[in-house]
Structure 1
Amino acid sequence: MLRRYIRKVSENKINSRNAIAFSLLFLVLLAVMILSLGVGAVQLTPNETVSALINQAQKNSHRTIVWEFRFPRILLVVLCGAALSAAGVGFQGLFRNPLADPYVVGASGGAALGATLAVMLRFSLPHITIGIGAFFGSLLAVLVVFAISEYSNYGSIAGLLLAGSAMSAMLSAVVSLLLLLNDEVLHGVYAWLLGSFANSSWSELGQTLWLAPPAILCVFLMSRSLDALAAGEETAQSLGLNLRKARLIIVISSSLATAAAVSVSGIIGFVGLIAPHLARMLVGANHKTMMPIAMLLGSLLMLFADDLARTLMAPVEIPVGIFTALLGGPFFLYLMKTGEKRT
């Protein structure tokens, strides 16, 4: 009886701490979003930003800058950061590996090939934009990788990793060949591969809203399955989990979240690696608790990177992917080092 009471008190304390962490991060995210609206080639103070947001009678350049250009961009940045983080949670939970990220199953290579083909076919098929090409390329590559892994002799998890690595290498080679044979598309594809929100708009935000939230919700609903998989496939199966179905849902939903972000932002790496790991450090490994924290951290990380991209060499914008790579590379090495010490 006493042990049960102590356990209940301990769980209540943990839940309270997690709720406080979520609330604080959410408030920080809102504050950073407001500050980010004032960042750019034209600097706005917080008062000017808030006034442009809420004063509908105000018709000036500040309101146009905030509502037409920066507000949809900030919302898109936050949504993409959350989507990539949710995908990172799904893939890291599936592979039981904190070094996994949304591009480990070929999503990045598929998106790159789809974007390249879209640029090459822009005159004959003008309705196929870079975003649409990247989305379908990413999703198709992941489906092929999953199908191969299910019939491999290495087991499903090892098969996914091996098939994803092989698919990424092949797709990268195809992209390089296409760019070599069609050098006129090199600049457009290269700029997209570096990742950027420079052309963000309300229409792109609407496009992402159709895809990212359902995919994020699907990953979140698989939290208990991810917790079971963390104990090992045999343990998960003994708990009654349908492994093939669970893996398929996690892979598809995580890939959809990745593709939704990639289709509008280009390839931005390491966000799905860093945010879930930081969330585990803050609130533990329970996926239901950890995933919302990871999404907030991913959105904050993406916002900081985008703010740097817009201001460091204003009015020229630096690709966001450069900053996330500069931050994520050392973080990846740190994870490898700490993992080496634990073994």
Structure 2
Amino acid sequence: MLVALAFVVALATTIGDYRIGFGTVVLAISNGLGLTGADIPPIQESVVWDLRLSRALVAALSGAGLALCGAILQALLRNPLAEPFVLGVSAGASTGAVCVIVLGIGAGSLSLSMGAFAGAFSAFALVALLSNGATSGPNHTILAGVAAAQLFNALTSYIVTTSGNAQQARDVMFWLLGSFGGVRWPDFQLLILVIVFGLAVCLWMARTLDAFTFGDEDAAALGVPVARIRLVLFAVTAMITATIVSMVGAIGFVGLVVPHAARYIVGPLHLRLLPASAALGAVFMVLADIASRVVATQQTVPIGVVTALVGVPFFAIILYRARPST
């Protein structure tokens, strides 16, 4: 998967209005890394290194982070449908970010990432309240997440339509469907710190996550501090989701589809599942970004549309397989 990731990232940098060959892309990247000193046109090297490579790497990190969050939430809630988009976390992060962009709440003192983080945590708190915390089953939590997502989506739409001008409304609604168009190297630097930190924390708790698959009571009987571990992992999930949403918008179904595919490849043990989900999610998101740029002529389709076209049928398959037997 890592070899595939390197290939699709290089492939993504060849795609755009200004066509650049694959060999030139490889030379431009190696020049940027200081490995070679090949003589290529400066405009091509700038396009590859300053624009397209940063976009491809942010797409890869976003896919890795969302897939990681999906794997964590599915283990904590013991529900195959759990992921940040379904549980309303992405919707809450979007509302928090829109409050900063359109309403100017905390402008100067509250960054876009912090606004998204506050919104994501608000969504988690609402889901916990609606599902009555530990007394509810995983299905109740999913239903609470759907309700929270609808509420925060409604709040976002209300803020945009009543407080923003026409241009703001168009920009924000496109951003809410996901776009990698405006990301640059500073976004990559922040995102890689967040993803590496989150992955390290989750790998440290991988064996604990294995215990959660037997249920909270059995995990507690094995000596797992259930409430503390759940809070820490929920916080890590909210941090990763909020950072991604604040940069590229709300992208759904990646956390749903990818962990199941990774589980089919490497099995259920989280020490293997978590890094496999991250790597596969990175490949999937870069491919989705490529599709968003080539599926329609002379325009870019929002990345959330592409992931939904893959995720919704997969969602239906999971529901069909989970139906009670008669």
Fold match by TM threshold 0.5: yes
**Contact 1:150-1:159 within 8 A present in 2 as well:** yes
> What's the CA shift for 1:342?
6.4
- Does 2:87 match 1:115? no
Alignment of 1:48 with 2:29, yes or no, is no
Distance (whole Å) between structure 2 residues aligned to residue 150 and residue 243 of structure 1: 17
Give the 3 Å change call, closer, same or farther, for CA 159–308 of structure 1 in structure 2: closer
SS of residue in 1 equivalent to 2:323:
helix
1:53-72 C-alpha deviation (Å, 9 max, x unpaired): 22346452110011110111
**Residue equivalent to 2:311:** 328
Tell me which of 185, 190, 213 is aligned to 1:207.
190
**Bigger Rg, which one:** 1
1:60 aligns with 2:42: yes
TM-score of the aligned structures, taking structure 2 as reference length: 0.88
Q: Output the CA distance in 1 between the equivalents of 2:276 and 2:211.
A: 20
Structure 1 residue 272 and structure 2 residue 248: aligned? no
- The answer (yes or no) to whether the contact 2:94–2:245 under 8 Å persists in 1 is no
Q: Deviations over 1:161-195 (max 9, x none)?
A: 45434433332232232233225132122011110
Deviation, structure 1 residue 81: 0.6
* 8 Å Cα contact 1:111-1:134 kept in structure 2: yes
Residue equivalent to 1:319: 302
Equivalent residue for 2:159?
178
Are the equivalent residues in 2 in contact too, given 1:106–1:141 (CA < 8 A)? yes
Unaligned 5+ segments in structure 1 are: 1-24
Give the residue type in structure 2 aligned to 1:234.
Answer: E
User: Do the aligned partners of 1:193 and 1:266 also contact (CA within 8 Å) in 2?
Assistant: yes
TM-fit CA distance, 1:241: 0.9
Q: Are 1:37 and 2:9 an aligned pair?
A: no
2:71 — aligned with what? 89
Give the structure-1-normalised TM-score: 0.84
In the alignment, is the contact (CA less than 8 A) between 1:72 and 1:200 conserved in 2?
A: yes
Instruction: Say whether 1:307 aligns with 2:283.
Output: no
Instruction: Identify which range, 126-135 or 264-273, moves more after superposition.
Output: 126-135
User: CA separation in 2, counterparts of 1:260 and 1:342?
Assistant: 41
Amino acid of the structure 2 residue aligned with 1:39 = I
Correspondence 1:168 to 2:161: no
Q: Secondary structure at the match of 1:77?
A: helix
Q: 1:245 to 1:150 in 2, by over 3 A?
A: farther
Which of 179, 188, 201 aligns to 1:196? It is 179
CA contact (8 A) 1:153 1:159 kept: no
Provide the rounded CA distance (Å) in 2 between the counterparts of 1:123 and 1:339.
43
- Report the 3-state secondary structure (helix = DSSP H, G, I; strand = E; otherwise coil) of the residue aligned with 1:340: coil
Q: Indicate whether 1:261 and 2:237 are aligned.
A: no
| Alignment partners' CA distance in 2, 1:153 and 1:225 | 18
Unaligned runs of 5+ in 2: 32-36
Say if 1:269 and 1:324, in contact at 8 Å, map to a contact too: yes
Alpha-carbon distance, 1:106 to partner: 2.8
How far apart in 2 are the matches of 1:27 and 1:221? 25
What's the % identity of the aligned pairs? 32
Establish whether residue 135 from structure 1 lines up as the match of residue 111 from structure 2: no
